[in-house]
Amino acid sequence: MPVAQANDLKDLYELALTRDAALQAAAFARDAGIEVRPQALASWLPHIAAAASVTRERADYDSGQLASPATDCVLGAAAGSQHCYGTVHGLGLNLSQTLWSFQAFSQLQEADLQAAAAQAAFLSASQNLLLRVATAYFAILAASDQLAANRSERDAFAGLLNQARTRESTGVGPRSDVEQAQAFYDATEQSVIDAGNALDDANLALTEIVGAHAARLAPLRTDIPLISPEPASAEEWVAAARRDNFDVRAAQLRMQAAERDVAAQRGRGLPTISLTGASSKLNQDEVLGGNQTLDTIGVSFSWPLFQGGAVASAVRQSRALYREATAVYDSTQRDAEKQCRAAYRGIVSGIARIGAAHRAVESGRGAVEASRRNVEFGTGTEFDLLNAQNNYYTALRAYSQVRYDYLTSLLALKLEAGRLGEIDLIAIDDLLIEAGS
């Protein structure tokens, strides 16, 4: 059988990479998350600020203090005093370099963890996209199979109903055979309508991820290989999920970042040591002291002893957030373990279920043929044939669905273990056949 060439799983995944809103949101969240590190690092880099000002000042002098009268001076109300006015033009450059700050140190460590958590969350979203595309694709194929099976079932029961009516009209068969066949046929009408609606819903679900796509997708081969998990131990997969699952990793990093935030909040009340330097120049009237240039350098020590209880409150809040992050981490880890075990079980049991479902289809087909012959030879009833026909199509629908469940479990297991990649999607894409072949 030729491999699918168009509208296949890989093509849809490539569309999803550029169109899926959830992945785009995760990418923007990652980009925003990694910016916390340069912001935290900025506290350890030099801070330079420039300042300029123009002010009007007044100075009070005793009459004897001025060597000569100034034009901008006026006599004060008190005897022997005068007020002098002048304009000051100031330019300044200030530099500050943090030498030690426990708060800034803790914030930098916290930022590293937050950036790593943002990256892990994005990788989780990327892997989830692979599974979401495959699941949506399988949902369409499953719905198409169900619709085809239901239509075939309706046609089969329609044929049996016509045969029962013919036998009744010729006096060979009873009225009860017609009523029984009519009941089975009527039941298939609703199932066909439901299957059609399910197919429409499945197409809409895929459209939500990839946008507009061709309604006809490449179907799955009948003879798909049934591969057991490797390693063949659920505990090894669970251990990998605890260690490598990106959701677990992101939750763990957020928990560690929240722990560092407790130290950062405590650091708000601890001393800070900085190297400071400044250069300023004042252009002013002689009456105010004349032009001046001042250069300074030094080390400053700052210790906020009390800030109204804000530091203590921030520490308590941060501790509560750390406990919350710890609980979320535990919950995420347990969920990953549960999903990993379920996926592993889905693969192992899926192999057995596919074999059992295939045998049920073959047995059902044989039972239909046997019942038909019995009716023809007068050794069986029409109702037996109707039941055999119903059981056959029930088995056919189950066989179709269990194959998609098995493939979904294969991808889900690798997702939970943090090992799902595009190569896994390509491997399933190779199991598709070209539409219409």
Q: Categorize the per-residue pLDDT at 81 as very low, low, confident or very high, splitting at 50, 70 and 90.
A: confident
Confidence of residue 88 (pLDDT cuts 50, 70, 90): confident
Indicate if the pLDDT at residue 146 is higher than 70. yes
Distance CA 57, CA 24 (A): 58
Type of residue found at 201: D
Cα-based distances in Å from 216 to 46, 157, 289: 61, 27, 89
Structure tokens at 121: 């969350």
Q: Is the pLDDT of residue 5 over 50?
A: no
How many Cβ atoms are within 10 Å of 96's Cβ, its own excluded?
A: 14
Residue 99 has pLDDT above 80, yes or no: yes
| Terminal CA-CA length for the chain | 7
At 74 the pLDDT is 60
Rounded percentage of the chain residues whose pLDDT exceeds 90: 68
Which DSSP letter does residue 4 get?
P
Note the pLDDT tens digit of each residue in 394-418.
999 999 999 999 999 999 999 999 9
Q: How far apart are CA 435 and CA 139, in angstroms?
A: 16
Torsion angle, alpha carbons of 11, 1, 138, 209, to 10: 10
102-169 and 21-34 helices, crossing angle to 10°: 170
Distance CA(6)–CA(136), nearest Å, equals 17
pLDDT tens by residue, 220-279? 988 899 999 998 999 999 999 999 999 999 999 999 999 999 999 999 999 999 999 999
Query: What is the Cα–Cα distance from 150 to 129, expressed in whole angstroms?
Result: 31
**Cα(225)–Cα(227) distance, integer angstroms:** 6
Over residues 105-117, mean pLDDT: 97
List the one residue out of 24, 13, 25, 401 whose CA is nearest residue 213: 13
pLDDT digits (tens, 9 = 90+) for 353-404: 999 999 999 999 999 999 989 888 877 788 888 889 999 999 999 999 999 9
Q: Which residue has the higher pLDDT, 212 or 334?
A: 334
**Which of 6-10, 199-203, 399-403 is the least confident region?**
6-10
In the numeric block, the tokens 């251990």 are attached to 239
Angle of the 102-169 helix axis to the 175-210 helix axis, nearest 10: 150
pLDDT at 46 over 60: yes
Q: What is the pLDDT of residue 422?
A: 93
pLDDT (tens digit, 9 = 90+) per residue, 318-328? 999 999 999 99
Where are any strands of DSSP class E within 136-193?
none
pLDDT band at 80 (very low <50, low <70, confident <90, very high): low
Per-residue CA distances from 235 to 247, 294, 413, 414, 417 (Å): 19, 72, 12, 14, 11
Q: Are 26 and 235 in contact (CB under 8 A)?
A: no
pLDDT band at 303 (very low <50, low <70, confident <90, very high): very high
Amino acid at 244: D
Residue 101 phi, psi (nearest 5): -150, 115
Cβ atoms 198, 143 nearer than 8 A: yes
Chain position carrying tokens 């009744």 = 168
Length of the chain: 437
Buried b (16+ CB within 10 A) or exposed e, 305-334: eeeeeebeebbeebbebbeebbebbeebbe
State the Cα–Cα distance between residues 369 and 357, nearest whole angstrom: 18
> Residues 402, 354: contact at Cβ < 8 Å?
yes
Q: What pLDDT does 82 receive?
A: 73
CB 404 within 8 A of CB 142: yes
**Residues 16/211, Cβ–Cβ less than 8 Å:** no
Kindly list the domain boundaries of the chain, sorted by start residue.
Answer: 9-46+100-270+310-429
> Per-residue confidence at 62, pLDDT binned at 50, 70, 90?
low
What average pLDDT score do residues 165-189 get?
Answer: 85
On whether the CB atoms of residues 318 and 258 are closer than 8 A, the answer is yes
- Domain 9-46+100-270+310-429: top CATH class: mainly alpha
Distance CA 407, CA 231 (A): 17
User: For the whole model, what pTM was predicted?
Assistant: 0.85
* Average pLDDT over all residues of the chain: 89
